[in-house]
Amino acid sequence: MTDLTTLSIAEAGRLMTSGELTSTALTEAFLARIAVVDHKIASYITVTGDLALAAAQQADMERAGGLSRGPLHGIPIALKDIYETAGVRTTGHSHLRVDYVPAIDAETVRRLKSGGAVILGKLATHEFANGAMTPDQPFPAARNPWNTDYQPGGSSSGSGAAVAGALCMGALGSDTGGSIRNPAGFCGTAGIKPTYGLVSRCGIYPLSFSLDTAGPLTWTVEDSALMLDVLAGHDPNDQASARAPKVDYGASAHRSIKGMRIALARSWYESEIASVTPEMKKGIDDAVEVLRDQGAIIEDVVFPDIRDYHICGRVIITVEAHAIHRRDVIETPEKFGYTTRRRFQLGAFLSAEQYLSAVRFRRKLQQDTRAAMRGYDLVMAANQWGGPEVFEEPQQIFHFLGKPSLSMPFNVTGQPAMTVCCGFGSDGFPLAFQLAGRPFDEASVFAAGAAYERATPWRARRPTL
């Protein structure tokens, strides 16, 4: 049998259904690999081995008795350490919460457990999903499994590193300005930011109330679809939670994309202002041809300027994050990492007028994006400008004052957006593009992403640790 830790969620589920694999054996394989290799990439803050084995044994007993809880029954999953977990510390990768132990699970964690998932532990993150990973924080920085001298992207840094490093089958992350898609791109995994409101955020440390989303990172697009099958749904305790129709996302990953119309936002990543690396450009151009071979119709479409989305999103995040963390930054500034503290403080210098202008401008960008998408099912664009950055100290505090974020447009519009690996550069790092759909049309995103994966060899290549 293939190394158990490199099975996909879909493959492991089929093997458990047929009785060829147990959740206990699968969980033991992951715990063993974590013990042997995770010190190289520091993706875990807390490993809950005993709880995981107990959950795996329970899953095996249930399956033996004919009970199936769904696609994640017995599947080992890990959580970004901003998801509250009953009886297990939830640190936010910060001295401020280093000993905090919640009494109840986040709604998403509750849904995972109800679906029979096995929780392996809590994963590294940029502090409170905002600061960089710096030496003045309580845990080591997660590293990129393709080359540990480099960053894995953030803020769901441990989630991207753990999935790519075969240290869990799937992980939960969060995405306010690209924090699922950035590590997915730099680590070569799949990762989706669902439509704003599709997945509950109750019990997840907030960063920006009007932009925060929760979603999965996995090795394949199909696996992300299977996780979203369990996670999606209305939560009355989340004020932004939407009542959307139930969709079989796992099935959508097997849909034909013949006749699907995709708008290519080339102007975002190829312009006089900024352009992706030549290898990234070639990777995306090649991906366009693969999707065309699958029957998709892809045409260049002009969208609003990438800088407009970026500036709008950064103002909203900066003001809302300051409002959330203001008291702690004033009373205990020494408990924050130096990047986190300064980024939170920046919000004090933005006015109510500037914030409201950004909120109004967001509505215009949503309308203009919808108009540009008229007649198209999806948007396709680059995921990142090039490869990841090397670890250096001191780290850049206001990193977002450089090139605009390629992931920010879909946070501003609230649309679902997924990262898909499209090869590797000469430096050995993954290349990636984004697919974004209309609100609540994750199904089309999964269909196109999975069709691309089936037609390409990239999912067979793993980092060596």
User: What average pLDDT score do residues 46-63 get?
Assistant: 98
Entry pTM:
0.97
* C-alpha span between 339 and 394 (Å, rounded): 9
* C-alpha span between 380 and 285 (Å, rounded): 11
Reported as a single tens digit per residue, the pLDDT across 314-327 is: 999 999 999 999 99
Reported as a single tens digit per residue, the pLDDT across 324-373 is: 999 999 999 999 999 999 999 999 999 999 999 999 999 999 999 999 99
Reported as a single tens digit per residue, the pLDDT across 4-43 is: 999 999 999 999 999 999 999 999 999 999 999 999 999 9
User: What average pLDDT score do residues 216-245 get?
Assistant: 98
- Which CATH number does 4-460 carry? 3.90.1300.10
**31: its two tokens:** 């715990």
Contact 364, 321 (CB under 8 A): no
Reported as a single tens digit per residue, the pLDDT across 71-118 is: 999 999 999 999 999 999 999 999 999 999 999 999 999 999 999 999
Reported as a single tens digit per residue, the pLDDT across 406-460 is: 999 999 999 999 999 999 999 999 999 999 999 999 999 999 999 999 999 999 9
Contact 283, 175 (CB under 8 A): no
The confidence band for 399, taking pLDDT boundaries of 50, 70 and 90, is confident
pLDDT for the residue 2: 65
> Could you identify the residue written with the tokens 């900066």?
318
Supply the residues annotated as catalytic.
80, 155, 179
| Annotated domain spans of the chain | 4-460
54-66 CB burial, b ≥16 within 10 A, e <16:
ebbbebbebbeee
Mean pLDDT of the chain: 97
> Taking 50 as the threshold, does the pLDDT of residue 1 lie above it?
no
